[in-house]
Amino acid sequence: MLKDLIVFQKTYDLLKWIHELTAKYPKSEKFVPAARTENGVLDLLEAGSRMNDELGRLLGGLRKRFGGAAPDVAATPKG
């Protein structure tokens, strides 16, 4: 399921690219800066996963409340 999500896939691609890039860091910068960079991208990946879970719960609740499909917000009259 997560592979179908574009944001997840792009973040994962970024993580792979960052990992390859940080492997080329000089020894003096290899551990702390490289680890902090990779941890930042991992945090982004984790936040995207949590966001997906929350959206799933929200849409599931809307489907349950409105019976079947979630309502089309754009079609709802404002007023």
Dist. CA 61–CA 54, nearest whole Å: 11
Task: Please give the pLDDT value at position 74.
Answer: 55
Dist. CA 56–CA 54, nearest whole Å: 5
Give the chain's end-to-end CA distance (angstroms, integer).
37
Report the predicted TM-score, pTM, of the whole model to 2 decimal places: 0.53
Task: Please give the pLDDT value at position 59.
Answer: 78
Dist. CA 17–CA 4, nearest whole Å: 20
What tens digit of pLDDT does each residue of 25-57 get?
888 777 888 888 888 888 888 887 788 778 778
